[in-house]
Amino acid sequence: MLTAILLGFIFSVFLVFTGKIFRGKPAILAAIIPLSLFVYFSSFINRVASGEVIHESFEWVPSFGVNLGFTLDGLSLLFALMITGIGFLVFVYTSSYLKGHEYLDRFYGYLSMFMAAMLGLVMSDNLISLFIFWELTSISSFFLIGFNNSNAASRRSAITALAITGLGGLSLLAGALILGSVGSTYSIAELISSRDEIVANPNYVLIAIFFFGAAFTKSAQFPFHFWLPGAMKAPTPVSTYLHSATMVKAGVYLLMRFTPVLGSTEFWNSTLIIVGAITMVYAAVHTLFRRDLKGILAYSTISALGILVFLIGQGTEGTLLAAALFIAVHALYKATLFLVTGIIDHQTYSRDVTILRGLRKVMLPVAIAGFLAAISSAGIPPTLGFLGKELTYESTIAVIGIPLLWIILIVVTKILLLYAGFVAGITPFMGALPEKFSETKMPSFLLWVPPLLLAVGGLVFGIFPGLIEPVIKPVVTAMGENAGDAHLQLWHGFNTVLWLSIITIITGTVLFFVLKPSERLGLKAERVEFLSPQSIMERLWRMFYLTSSGWTNFFQNGYLRNYISTIMVFMIGLTGYSLYNTATFSLDLSTLSLITGYEMAIVGMMFFAVLYTVFTKSRLAAVASMGVVGLAICLLFVFYSAPDLAMTQFSIDTLTVILFVLVLYRLPRYLQLSDYKTRIKDGVLALSFGSIITILILEVLATPVDSEISRYYADNSYVLAHGKNVVNVILVDFRGSDTFMEISVLAIAAIGVFALLKLRLKETDQR
């Protein structure tokens, strides 16, 4: 399994060196990677269906309990098959959709990295590795959404998506760390066995909130949903792969994976039901006001994700089975509709559903794919969508204590989704072909075959549900419920569920013929746009930006003396407050050695040099007197047997004096840089800071010292590191990694300074 996950990352790195090969006709060869992975995961279907769970673990950071543990059960297998199967078709589709694009190889690299990250996410059995793969999906999707980086809207959409999902990533990290601490393990399989202790823990609600934050942001739940419609600025293969079949379902996967650990409580179930219900209705209503095909599909995707969260929240065997089936149903028909939309956009250069008509006459296979996907999204027999809708209604009605309101809301949502599916999948192909599209040509078979295969798959699985049952039922088992007696079948007899389906189909179809997408509807929606979560968050962002800008401009005003003064004031305040509350001032002066004459002479020399520095009117004299202070400190180091420190101090002090002289040489000769008030303020600040440091040193001297660490270094420096200078041995051997990193930082800073010194910008490029 580890090899299967790493394959996508390896291919991404491989493209860095051989990318030119995949910019031309050989681009389709990239599809071999997801195809081989799909075949690999398909080989596990029978084993998983029989109840087997495949585990694989590799040590990573065992001291922290972080291992690369992977689990392949019903839940992870369903997602792995979707990721690789739809991924294969998207890879094929991309080879024609972006044919001739100068960065096609880069696109495949991002796509492969995302595929690998998603596989790692759904198969991870360790909370920390799950978080890492979670973040990798956010980063790779950022690159994919912003692929058209010359477009300002694409860049903005990518940043928005990264900001929202990145916030969810932080929430997941916090929840994972607390959950790992409470459960005393980061293994998800082991956490399931500790469920009762976790739920009874006082931190349970906090853990659940953090996991909700991660899932709701990733799966575009209200009020975090607005990043998903914006992400439609990405190329269609991205919209298909990330935002209908895989990435947006990562949040749903997280909820399903942790239902056995955190679920079946009032807080968990109620939160998911309420948030899912609001999301599915809110987004479904929005589809009525959209004209852009991608916009319609985006909001219908958000609504479908709300349905999934709603079903998971109910937490019964039936609703979990309905959720598992609906994941597959939605992936098949929504990926088809997105691919069809991409073909329409690619061939007609338009996604405006109010002007698209009659395209069946020039691209019949595409029209068939769109029609099949539309009827599957509507839940019309004999498609798989009909089974999904029937199971959703049946399981919701069967839940004890579910109010009638929830049943009404799920029916209304399904009606509106039927309308959206018909608008996206049927409207562009109905009627007469407009004159402006008369030159439209049949697309390459590499474009229309993938959506047609997905659409036919939705029909075949609907007629023969036994084909997909071995993949769906183990999902419920993985979530802690028993689905052994459940069977997927097309006909359930005449019952309440069937009548609800008939009402849904008839009402949605009537709505489709009565209500046509128009600019007028869009304008009505724009009038209340100021109340939308996106508008509210944008206003909050602007307030935050203005506040942070004012704060930054106040402190970061370009004057070094202000920066130093600010740092010193805060240090004086914090350190002084701490000393006031904790200092004992119990220093025994008798324990100190007697002050010698040469020490008094050196201190006196330093004192008069400081006074001369402060009051002299000559800059060069001030620099020279500062050099005297530095040399006096060197003498103190020598007297106290620290010649290495003395040499270091001497070198730095000499260099500092030289640099000061060079800088002062360039300044105007008689320029007065500060007035007496500024000097008084600086003097008070310096005296206060010096007093605080003096008190702190005296307090340190009065504190008992544990010399165990000092003895260790003294005893082992020569024996282990073969060095007589303890300080040098500590820096080079015992803390060699720290020293190496410090050297690296200094080297990077030096390279940056050198680059800035050598930078010569054109006048038009200067800011």
Residue 383, Cβ neighbours under 10 Å: how many? 28
Domain ranges of the chain: 275-517, 559-711, 712-767
| Amino acid of residue 188 | I
Span 698-735, pLDDT tens digits: 877 777 777 778 888 888 888 888 887 887 888 888 87
Residue 530's pLDDT band (cuts 50, 70, 90):
low
Flag whether pLDDT at 557 surpasses 80: no
266: amino acid identity, one letter: E
**Sign of the torsion angle spanned by Cα atoms 286, 290, 295, 296:** positive
Residue with tokens 């020569």: 718
One-letter amino acid at 44 equals F
Structure confidence at residue 246 (pLDDT): 76
> What is the rounded distance in angstroms from the CA atom of residue 47 to the CA atom of residue 53?
8
Query: How many residues make up the chain in this entry?
Result: 767
- d(CA 168, CA 214) in angstroms, rounded, equals 4
Higher pLDDT, 486 or 501: 501
Return the minimum-mean-pLDDT range out of 307-316, 485-494, 640-649.
485-494
Q: Mention every residue, 6+ apart, whose C-beta is less than 8 A from residue 762.
A: none
Average pLDDT over residues 131-160: 89
Instruction: Collect all residues with Cβ–Cβ distance below 8 Å to 5 and sequence separation of at least 6.
Output: 70, 116, 119, 120, 123
CA distances from 212 to 371, 386, 621, 623, 641 (A): 36, 30, 65, 61, 61
Rg, C-alpha atoms of the chain: 34
CB atoms within 10 A of CB 31: 21
How high is the pLDDT of residue 590? 67
Long-range own/partner contacts, residues 535-544 (CB < 8 A, 24 or more apart): 536/223, 537/223, 537/226
Query: Would you state the structure tokens that stand for residue 364, as one six-digit string?
Result: 């019949």
pLDDT of 502 strictly over 80: yes
**Residue predicted with more confidence, 245 or 391:** 391
- Reference 403, options 275, 316, 274, 491; nearest CA is 274
* HEC letters along 514-552: HCCCCHHHHHHHHHCHHHCHHHHHHHHHHHHHHHHHHHH
With pLDDT > 90 as the criterion, what percentage of the chain qualifies? 32
Reply yes or no on whether the pLDDT at 67 is more than 80.
Answer: no
Q: Could you tell me the pLDDT band of residue 577, with boundaries at 50, 70 and 90?
A: confident
- Report pLDDT digits (tens) over 248-300: 889 999 999 999 999 888 999 999 999 999 999 999 998 888 888 988 999 99
- Can you tell me the distance from the alpha carbon of 53 to that of 72, in angstroms, rounded to the nearest whole number? 6
Describe the crossing of helices 317-348 and 74-97 by its angle, rounded to 10 degrees.
0
All residues at 6 or more sequence positions from 125 whose CB lies less than 8 Å from its CB, including other chains: 55, 57, 69, 70, 71, 187, 188, 189
Most confident of 44-48, 222-226, 697-701: 44-48
Q: What is the pLDDT of residues 1-10, one digit of tens each?
A: 788 888 988 9
Q: Which residues contact 511 (CB under 8 A, 6 or more apart)?
A: 415, 416, 418, 419
Q: For residues 703 and 195, which has the higher predicted lDDT (pLDDT)? A: 195
Give the pLDDT band of residue 400 (cuts 50, 70, 90). Answer: low
pLDDT at 498: 87
Q: What is the pLDDT of residue 481?
A: 81
pLDDT of residue 79: 93
Residue 591: predicted pLDDT: 63
pLDDT confidence band for 174 (50 / 70 / 90): very high
Give yes or no for residue 65 having a pLDDT over 80: no
Q: Rounded CA gap, 190 and 623, in Å?
A: 66
C-alpha angle 312-53-89 in degrees, rounded to nearest 5:
70
pLDDT at 592: 66
Q: What is the model's pLDDT at position 621?
A: 84
Which is it for the CA torsion 450, 451, 454, 456, positive or negative?
negative
Query: Does residue 687 surpass a pLDDT of 80?
Result: yes
- Position 565 confidence tier, pLDDT thresholds 50, 70, 90: confident
More confident position, 555 or 168: 168
* Confidence class for position 666, pLDDT limits 50, 70, 90: confident
Percent of the chain with pLDDT over 70: 94
Name the amino acid, one letter, at 168.
Answer: G
Beta bridge partners of 68: 58
DSSP tag of 674: -
Token pair of 320, please? 């979990």
Confidence of residue 245 (pLDDT cuts 50, 70, 90): low
Tokens coding 240? 């298909």
54-61 and 66-72 strand pairing: antiparallel
pLDDT digits (tens, 9 = 90+) for 624-652: 888 898 888 888 888 887 887 888 888 88
Q: Does domain 559-711 have CATH number 1.10.10?
A: no
- For the chain, counts of helices (H) and of strands (E): 33, 2
- Alpha-carbon distance of 73 to 124, in angstroms, equals 11
- For the chain, what is the mean pLDDT? 86
pLDDT for position 451: 93
- The residue-averaged pLDDT of 15-35 equals 85
